[in-house]
Amino acid sequence: MTEPQRALMRRLAAAFGDEGTGRMLVQAALREARRASLPNEPDALLDFVRAHLMSTLTEELGPRLVAALLEDLEQELAAADRPSTRVAIGSMEPPSTRRIAASGSMEPPKSSGVRVRPNVVLCDTDRFARAALARSLVGTECDVAAAESPTEIMSLDDRIDVAIVNMQMSEVASMLGALSARAPDVRVVAVSNDAHAAESLLRAVGVRTHRIVPRGMRSLELRAVIKRLANG
């Protein structure tokens, strides 16, 4: 899969809160277009999305969210296509999108001039809650992934900058432990109405940097919290 294709799939996964829905819609669009695979080039890929995915996405997500998704995708593809963000050796991906080792510690040099998008992971076993949260984060200039188990956290390819964790999950302690093991410097947004219990658990599992927010926090406020944590 090419980087433009991966960018589209990341955007769809963020919008729906899971990877399966986006793959299903893409497969349906490919059948409609009588294609075996997505276009490789950014411009052709965007044309494909407009011609064969826009109407379905609008029905599922609404016009405003789809417009934001498409705008973000266009900006990401344009940024990745600029010569200043390309890696000189072979077919390696730009530093901002490169897959990294499980330690999650590798980052591009600060002097490279490449703006690194923070990777945000939604940790919640409730698929509908994940989807709603993912939709609210579209347009925040971050890449969003979802995990509903410690195993999924450990199997994530990219680094983890910020994790949003539902503290009411039955497996929350295991999830936090996996986050700490996978990315020791992860910054956690703990969603809970019991700040004392959340604080005790976060400290017990060794989460170094965190912010506790109430359930039902407004999207704009949550975005601001994520931005502050992501910027360190």
Give the pLDDT confidence of 78-129 residue by residue, as tens digits.
Answer: 887 655 433 333 333 333 322 322 333 334 344 444 456 788 999 988 777 7
176-213 per-residue burial string, b: 16 or more CB within 10 A, e: under 16: bbbbbebbeebbbbbbbeeeeebeebbeebebeebebb
**Tokens 């010569």 found at:** 83
Distance CA 86, CA 104 (A): 21
Model pLDDT for residues 155-203, shown as the tens digit of each residue: 988 889 999 999 999 899 999 999 999 999 999 999 999 999 999 999 9
What would the mean pLDDT of 52-71 be, rounded to a whole number? 83
pLDDT greater than 80 at residue 9: yes
Sign, Cα dihedral of 96, 98, 102, 108? negative
Per-residue pLDDT of 10-57, as tens digits, reads: 888 877 777 788 889 999 999 999 999 999 999 999 999 999 999 988
pLDDT score for 138 = 64
Q: What is the pLDDT, as a whole number, of residue 97?
A: 29
Can you give the pLDDT at residue 158?
80
Distance, CA of 59 to CA of 121 (rounded, Å): 26
Cβ pair 123, 166 in contact under 8 A: yes
pLDDT of residue 81: 66
Instruction: Answer whether 0.85 is exceeded by the pTM.
Output: no
- Give the pLDDT of residue 105: 35
Q: What pLDDT, on the 0 to 100 scale, is given for residue 157? A: 80
**Most distant pair of Cα atoms in the chain: their distance:** 56
Average pLDDT over residues 45-74: 86
Report the pLDDT value the prediction gives residue 194, as an integer from 0 to 100. Answer: 94
